[in-house]
Amino acid sequence: MDPPADEFPAVQPGGSLLLAWQVRNRRVLVVGGGNVAAGRILNLLNADALITVVTPAAGLVPEVAHRISQNLITHIDRNFLPTDLEDPAIAMVLTAVDDPLASSTIYTLCKQKRIPVNVADVPPECDFYFGSVHRDGPLQIMVSTNGNGPKLANIVRRQIAATLPANLGEAVVKVGALRKRLRGIAPAPAEGPKRMDWMTRVCEGWSLEELCDMNEEDMEALLKGYGDGVVISYKELRGEQDAIAEGFDGSFGWV
C-alpha cells in the first residue's frame, strides 16, 4: 500500500543543487579583467583558490590590477587561447568578457574537456551559478535565482542578513570548536549518530548569546556529559563553575 501523498516533501523541479564547493588550493581560470571578473576573483580569493586571469592588461579594472600587484593572482597578458585549458589541474573556468562568440567558444571547449564552466550573464552556458552571499566569519548564506535575477538575489540577501543576529558568526565559530573537540574524544564512525544528536541538543538548548560566550572551560565541562548522553545548560554550567570558584561543592542536575 502506497503511503499518503503528503507524507514526504514534495518534489520541486527546476532548481539548482546548492553546494559549498571547496576550491582551496585548486586552480581556477578566469577569462576577463573587468568589474564582473573582479567580483568573481574576490569570491575565489575568499575561498583560497589559486587563480589565473587571462586578459590583455589594457582591459584590467583597478581592482583586478590591484590583486595582480599584490601577487594574489597570476596574470597572463593576452587574449584567451585554447591551450589555456590544457592544464589538467584546472578545476573550473569563469568567463567574463563582452564577446559572446568568444564566450561560447570557451564554453564549448570546456564541455569537451569536461571542465565546469560559468559564462557570465549567459545562464544556458553555465554549469553553475554565482549567488548573492552573506558572510559572517565561517557562516555563508547564499541566495540564488538560478540565473534569472542576480540583482533581485542581492536585494533578498540584504533583507535576510538584516534579520540575523549580529553575533551569529561568532556562535558558529564556538560550535565548530566544540564539534572538533567532540570528534577528538569520540572519533569512531559508529559514534556519528550520537555525536550529531548531542551537538543538535547543544545548539537547541543554548541561545546564540550563550554559544558566543562559551569558553574552553565550558567546552570541557560540556564534553564530560557526552558519554552519558547529557547536555548541561549554560545557567547550570556557569552556576557550577561559580560554586567551585567559591569553594563550594555545587549540586546540579543534568538536562
CB 95 within 8 A of CB 118: yes
* 3-class secondary structure, 245: helix
- List all residues 6 or more positions away from 198 whose beta carbon is below 8 Å from its beta carbon: 182, 226, 229, 231
Contact indicator for 112, 102 with CB cutoff of 8 Å: no
Among the listed residues 121, 127, 136, 242, the single catalytic one is 121
Helix ranges restricted to H, the chain: 35-46, 62-69, 100-113, 150-162, 168-185, 192-205, 208-213, 216-223, 234-245
Cell of 5: 501523498
Rg (alpha carbons) of the chain, rounded to whole number: 24
- β-pairing, 90-95 with 27-31? parallel
How far apart, in whole angstroms, are the C-alpha atoms of residue 64 and residue 80? Answer: 17
121 a catalytic residue = yes
- Residue 210 has phi, psi (to 5 degrees) of -65, -40
Place of cell 585554447: 82
Tell me which residues are annotated as active site: 121
